[in-house]
Amino acid sequence: MDIQLDFLKYTQWSGIATLAFAAIAILAFVLQWGIRFRLVGTTGFMLVLTGGLFALSLAPLTRTAIPGSLHYSLIFDNGATQAVIGLPPTVTPTQVDATLRQAASDLYSYGRSGAGGNNSLTIRARTVTHPEAGLSIPLYLGKVERSLANRDDTGIAVEVYEDKFAQLPKTKPIT
């Protein structure tokens, strides 16, 4: 299913409806109907709706899905160059790698700015361990760095901290 073609079809039908409302509004002015100004408002709304649907038919609304990635929580994001995601403590190194790549794809935005001359987005993955009752320790499992300037960055650098996985509780990994 191509969503752009769907939006183009909706744009065509909305355009036809807009022309119909415009014709009715002109007829209402000619015949001095009492609802003529409401029809002008309806025609204006339909113009805005048609323009929005046309804009959505131009821009791709696709999301890249990385196989093996887990659902993550966005813990921190300064809107520029730093972000932290949270993962469950039962994660494996391959899942961390895939999830970091997924987060790098999801969190890329043209609106991010390179603060202080830094032109890369750094995303760190962490989990929280509980070695004893009442004590929570964040444990960083890896990071990914990608370019802020290029959407299709081929130089994404993923680093998984293999030594940190020994500190995780011994439970069955998530599949």
Residue 31 domain flag: yes
48 with 119, same domain? no
84 with 18, same domain? no
Residue 87 domain flag: yes
Among 65-74, 90-99, 104-113, the range scoring the smallest mean pLDDT is 104-113
Q: Model's pTM, two decimal places?
A: 0.64
42 with 124, same domain? no
> Are 91 and 52 spatial neighbours (Cβ–Cβ below 8 Å)?
no
30 with 97, same domain? no
Residue 175 domain flag: no
Q: Which of 16, 35, 58 is the last residue of a domain?
A: 58
Per-residue model confidence (pLDDT) at position 39:
96
Output 38 or 58, whichever has higher pLDDT: 38
141 with 85, same domain? yes
* Band (115; pLDDT cuts 50, 70, 90): low
> Which range of residues forms the domain containing residue 17?
3-58
Residue 111 domain flag: yes
84 with 53, same domain? no
52 with 83, same domain? no
Among 12-16, 75-79, 116-120, the range scoring the smallest mean pLDDT is 116-120
155 with 83, same domain? yes
Residues 6+ apart with CB under 8 A from 8: 54, 57
> Are 93 and 161 spatial neighbours (Cβ–Cβ below 8 Å)?
no
Residues 6+ apart with CB under 8 A from 44: none
Residues 6+ apart with CB under 8 A from 109: none
Q: Which of 148, 150, 93 is nearest to 123 (CA)?
A: 148
86 with 133, same domain? yes
102 with 151, same domain? yes
Helix (H) or strand (E) holding 19: helix 3-30
80 with 54, same domain? no
Residue 93 domain flag: yes
Per-residue model confidence (pLDDT) at position 53:
92
Residue 174 domain flag: no
